[in-house]
Structure 1
Amino acid sequence: MSTTRPRRQTDDTVTLDETSLLWRFVGDRRFVMSMCRAVSLQMLHPSIATATHSFSIVPRRVFVHKQRTAPCIIHSAYDDGFDDVRLIRYSHEEFHGSRPDGARYHALNPSVFFFEHATYVDALFACVDAFFGGIDDADRARLYGETCEWYRRYGISAREMPTSLADFHDYFDHALATELDPDPGLDWYRDQLLRPDHWYFKKLPTAAIRAIQHPVAAQHLGIEVTASDRRALAGFAGRLRARDLVTPRRNIYPDDVTHKVLAARRR
């Protein structure tokens, strides 16, 4: 297999550095915990669920798998030359086969790969709203532009990637309405999605896990998010924000991006 780094297109107007919003938020364990929202949507996508089940080291422990992949995803936002960027790209070359319904899939299909990235973008915005108090519309548009540069670093075709936040919302609503199917993913993973049992994911209270789910995932999971669930999420988020005031490094993850996250937050 070639180890040549894939060529990628860049947007010269977007820079991922200490001036970027992305650097403020992605390197934080609160984003890791918010990934449970993304994982639920991913396991409702038959191709992603099948690939996860077929190629994970521990097939029926989805959050064990995510502990291995989350650092790669986060590192790629901070360093486009990082080996994990290439690892993500090349490891997915092996992820292909047939779904239980007989349809063929390949993890490097741009439609599938971008959908998975889109679930992380959606989770990032949910994280910013729930754990950081939200940002205004201009910054939301700016942050979305930065997530596009984040995606370009993987060297995968960007033909599926909307160029604006409004178009992203249209894309994502359509994808959720047309590409999801609870079979086979929920049969394998439903209990874990509602009660993550591993790593930072399990630190979210059960009520907060329900509250942070995307409404489409909540419908497929058969849950109703209550006001009590939302209060639990808000209370947990408030405690972590208070911790930031005392020990700002404690919430940052991975440790080796700490100086970059703090530099971005000082800006």
Structure 2
Amino acid sequence: MTELAESDSATDALPLGPQSLVWRYFGDNRMFLIGPRPAVLQNMLAELGQGVLDHSVWFADTAARIKRSLPPIFMTVYGSEDDNAGVSVRDFHHNIKGDMPGPPGKAGRYHALDPDTYYWAHATFFDQALYFADTFVKRLSREEKEQMYLESKTWYRRYGVSDRPMPADYAEFERYWDRMINEVLVAHRTAVYGVGYVTKGFPRPKAVNPIVWRLVAPVFNPIAAFLTTGGMPPRTREILGLPWSDRKERNYQRFAAFWRSRPVNWLWDHLPMNVRYNRYAAKGFAQAGHA
């Protein structure tokens, strides 16, 4: 039975590596175009948002939390099957647990390693690569989306967390995603804080001089608001009360089409690898002989 389970696990997914679509898109430096979509969606799952609220520096120093969290995810994806950060990422979460707010005896508890909670976090990262590629690089075919999803199953299994909640194929993932967006996600305080700058302005990063920020903010804030709100699924905009309009949607689609255009893609593809990809992705490609 063990051998059969291992065989099924090996054949229901696709490998990561320089030929994979996940590698091609996940570490692409144009990813900033989607805004904070994965972080906000993660925190809209009540249990995950509560864990961040109770255990993270998200409110005190959002930038520091992002800088600390993302590198191990990239090292999980761009590492080899035998040398990646997946188990270390999982182990970071052992002590992230606590009580959900609510009436005594009815509120329940949360744990970051609960498979349903952990898989949702992973699903938002897979969606990050999929949404970015389909919106700002090229329109993906159904076959490409299926391929990316099967590659993401290999990625998730590197964490060593139960894959019970993981959909079998891309069609099942679509149904899972729609149910989460339409029936499960809420305007948790952590997620609301994460998009607060859409209407209030972005807080000055600690590393930026106040005078410099006063000069930069009037330009930066509208762009950040546009990318953040445009990059969220429509239903989640409604849940979070993010302002949007048909005119802004048309502008967003024109903006995305510009980035998908052939000249822009040609230019990007001819830039050096260390410009096109973050350092974790560039290192993975180099180690695989694709520098």
TM-score range, shorter chain: 0.7 to 0.9
Q: Deviations over 1:157-189 (max 9, x none)?
A: 000001110000001111223321213334533
The aligned residue for residue 137 of structure 2 is 132
**Offset, 1:136:** 1.5
Mark the CA change 1:65 to 1:236 in structure 2 (over 3 Å): closer, same or farther: farther
The aligned residue for residue 252 of structure 2 is 229
- Identify the match of residue 257 of structure 1 among 273, 276, 281: 281
8 Å CA contact retained: 1:14, 1:146: yes
1:77-226 aligned within 5 A: 77-79=77-79, 80-82=81-83, 84-101=85-102, 102-192=107-197, 205-222=224-241, 223-224=243-244, 226=249
Mark the CA change 1:207 to 1:235 in structure 2 (over 3 Å): closer, same or farther: farther
Please provide the CA RMSD for this pair. Answer: 3.2
Q: Deviations over 1:66-125 (max 9, x none)?
A: 221111111111214446322211111110001223331000000000011111122211
Structure 1: state its 5+ residue gaps.
1-6
User: How far, CA to CA, are the matches of 1:48 and 1:41 in structure 2?
Assistant: 10
Mark the CA change 1:193 to 1:52 in structure 2 (over 3 Å): closer, same or farther: farther
8 Å CA contact retained: 1:72, 1:88: yes
User: How far, CA to CA, are the matches of 2:143 and 2:125 in structure 1?
Assistant: 20
TM-score (ref. length: structure 1) = 0.82
What SS does the corresponding residue of 2:175 show, helix, strand or coil? helix
8 Å CA contact retained: 1:89, 1:155: yes
8 Å CA contact retained: 1:43, 1:49: yes
Larger relative CO (CA 8 A, sep 6+): 1 or 2?
1
Counting aligned pairs with the same residue, the percent is: 22
The aligned residue for residue 3 of structure 1 is none
User: How far, CA to CA, are the matches of 1:257 and 1:85 in structure 2?
Assistant: 15
Mark the CA change 1:263 to 1:22 in structure 2 (over 3 Å): closer, same or farther: farther
**Offset, 1:261:** 4.0
Residue 11 (structure 1) aligned with residue 10 (structure 2): yes
Structure 2: state its 5+ residue gaps.
1-5, 208-219
8 Å CA contact retained: 1:96, 1:107: yes
The aligned residue for residue 25 of structure 1 is 25
What SS does the corresponding residue of 2:196 show, helix, strand or coil? helix
The aligned residue for residue 212 of structure 2 is none
Task: Please identify, of 220-229 and 109-118, the stretch whose mean Cα deviation from structure 2 is larger.
Answer: 220-229
Task: Please identify, of 89-98 and 134-143, the stretch whose mean Cα deviation from structure 2 is larger.
Answer: 134-143
**Offset, 1:214:** 1.6
Q: Which amino acid aligns with 1:133?
A: K
What SS does the corresponding residue of 1:105 show, helix, strand or coil? strand
Q: Which amino acid aligns with 2:138?
A: G
Task: Please identify, of 125-134 and 148-157, the stretch whose mean Cα deviation from structure 2 is larger.
Answer: 125-134
Task: Please identify, of 204-213 and 257-266, the stretch whose mean Cα deviation from structure 2 is larger.
Answer: 257-266
TM-score (ref. length: structure 2) = 0.76
Equivalenced residues, count: 257
What SS does the corresponding residue of 2:144 show, helix, strand or coil? helix
